[in-house]
Amino acid sequence: MREKPTVLFVDDEPHVLIGLRRILATRCGHWDFRFLSDPRRALDLILGGEVDVVVTDIRMPEMDGFALLKAVRSNEATQDMPVTFLTGCLEDDVKRRALDQGATDLLNKPIVPEELVARIASMLRLRHYQDQLKGLNHTLEERVRSRTEELDRARLDIIWRLAKAGEYQDEETGGHVVRVGCYCRLLAEQIGMNRTFVEAIFLTSPLHDIGKIGVPDHILLKPDTLTPEEHKIMETHCRIGEKILVEEAQGMRPFLQWRDQTRSLGEMGSQHLFLAMAGDIARAHHERWDGSGYPFQLQGDQIPLAARIVYLADMFDALGSDRPYKQAYPHDKVMSIMHEEFQSDAFDPMVYTAFQAVSERMRQVREDIADEGRPHAGDDSSFM
Ligand SMILES: [Fe+2]
Ligand SMILES: [Fe+2]
């Protein structure tokens, strides 16, 4: 509401407006008044935000008071504006209809000046409270939004730190897990997955190798090619990761149940999806579409979609990154190796098609997110 509130009077009879003007001129220097005989012009003024409260006649040609009220109530910006009807015919059914349709108040003609001033004052008070309430609601929404953002940031922070912990021993190139998250988000969006899935894969794919913290150092850090036995041990990082992310989390159940009493089911549902996807990815991110991957030789649709996406994203990043045994391949070579892999049935065709559509953007991600650390000794592209 403006500092000097504006009251609009609408009446098709000029002598009524003249009478109102005379009554108010001597009484209310702290308010501004507008007087209009054309309700359509009045509506323009109201919708234009130029008035604070409205007093209107009911019976007017072309647009009556009810039509004016309806137009005001159906506009989001003016729907709460106090509107009082001023009329000479206050039969019961007119009164009822007026209140049903949202009139704030009703005033009889002939006008009693003191009553008119008191009603205007009460409309303006109402308007003032409405403005205060809107301000409070806005502040509250802002607080909720910033608190949610804070929680999201904290969650993201924990995930990145956990992912970093996973690659700390491994000393895999620094930006790898961050890039994998970004690639997966691009691929999932391109496939047409919903927002929840896209956000979940963005947040959980960086944890794909978390299980490497359970692989002995002499194997993880071995500078030479692994023996078949060592390879078998290395493969356990998939199951260890799944255990950490899913099974170990079961131990937290009593704590979660206690905490979740105050949380909505929707939130708990997304938490569940989140952990389930993280577990799927850890377990199956080395499975190939043709069933020749590991650790379970899953095939086709047996491999969770999120893991099929991570498998491709992880390989794309490894090929384009420096490793102890090779320099990063140029993008053209990366693309041709990816195509060969596709032809040998490594990838879900749907994921590969999405990859073809977003590969340029993935290449951009690789350029934007550089490696901070040095490539580690003993990695093997099959353990990307
Ligand atoms: Fe891995
Ligand atoms: Fe990886």
For residue 130, what is the domain's CATH number? 3.40.50.2300
Which of 114, 137, 160 is the last residue before a domain boundary? 137
CA distances from 69 to 53, 54, 222, 246 (A): 12, 10, 80, 58
pLDDT at 87: 78
Say if residues 207 and 281 touch (Cβ distance below 8 Å).
Answer: yes
Instruction: Give the distance (Å) from ligand 1 centre to CA of residue 189.
Output: 23
Q: What single string gives the DSSP state of each residue in 165-191? A: HHHHTTT--TTHHHHHHHHHHHHHHHH
pLDDT at 197: 93
Residues 195 and 120 in one domain: no
Strands 32-36 and 6-10, by their bridges, are: parallel
Cα–Cα dist 125/82, whole Å: 10
Cα–Cα dist 332/337, whole Å: 9
Residues 199 and 330 in one domain: yes
pLDDT at 374: 41
Strands 83-87 and 53-57, by their bridges, are: parallel
For residue 84, the SS3 value is strand
H-state helical runs in the chain: 14-25, 39-47, 65-73, 92-100, 113-168, 176-191, 195-204, 217-220, 228-235, 237-242, 248-250, 253-260, 265-284, 305-319, 331-343, 349-368
- Which residue numbers are catalytic? 212
Residues 100 and 199 in one domain: no
Cα–Cα dist 300/75, whole Å: 54
pTM recorded for the entire structure: 0.60
Instruction: Give the distance (Å) from ligand 2 centre to CA of residue 80.
Output: 56
Residues 302 and 360 in one domain: yes
CA distances from 195 to 3, 94, 104 (A): 45, 51, 43
Residues 176 and 100 in one domain: no
Say if residues 242 and 298 touch (Cβ distance below 8 Å).
Answer: no
- Report the domain count for the chain: 2
Residue 147 lies in a domain: no
Residue 151 lies in a domain: no
Nearest ligand (C-alpha, residue 205): 2
Residues 345 and 265 in one domain: yes
Say if residues 46 and 8 touch (Cβ distance below 8 Å).
Answer: yes
* Average pLDDT of adjacent 10-residue blocks, the chain of 384 residues: 86 90 80 92 93 92 91 92 83 82 87 87 90 90 86 76 69 76 97 93 92 88 87 94 78 53 46 82 97 96 97 96 81 97 97 98 92 45 46
Residues 248 and 373 in one domain: yes
Helix axes 195-204, 305-319, angle to 10 degrees: 50
Residues 369 and 234 in one domain: yes
Residue 144 lies in a domain: no
Nearest ligand (C-alpha, residue 240): 1
Instruction: Give the distance (Å) from ligand 2 centre to CA of residue 258.
Output: 35
Nearest ligand (C-alpha, residue 176): 2
Element (H, E) at 36: strand 32-36
The gap between the terminal CA atoms of the chain, to the nearest Å, is 62
Instruction: Give the distance (Å) from ligand 1 centre to CA of residue 65.
Output: 72
pLDDT at 112: 86
Residues 352 and 233 in one domain: yes
Nearest ligand (C-alpha, residue 177): 2
Can you give the residue range of the structural domain that contains 15? 6-137
pLDDT at 372: 62
CA-nearest of 195, 198, 207 to 314 is 207
Instruction: Give the distance (Å) from ligand 2 centre to CA of residue 384.
Output: 4
Residues 124 and 189 in one domain: no
Cα–Cα dist 215/233, whole Å: 7
Instruction: Give the distance (Å) from ligand 2 centre to CA of residue 63.
Output: 69
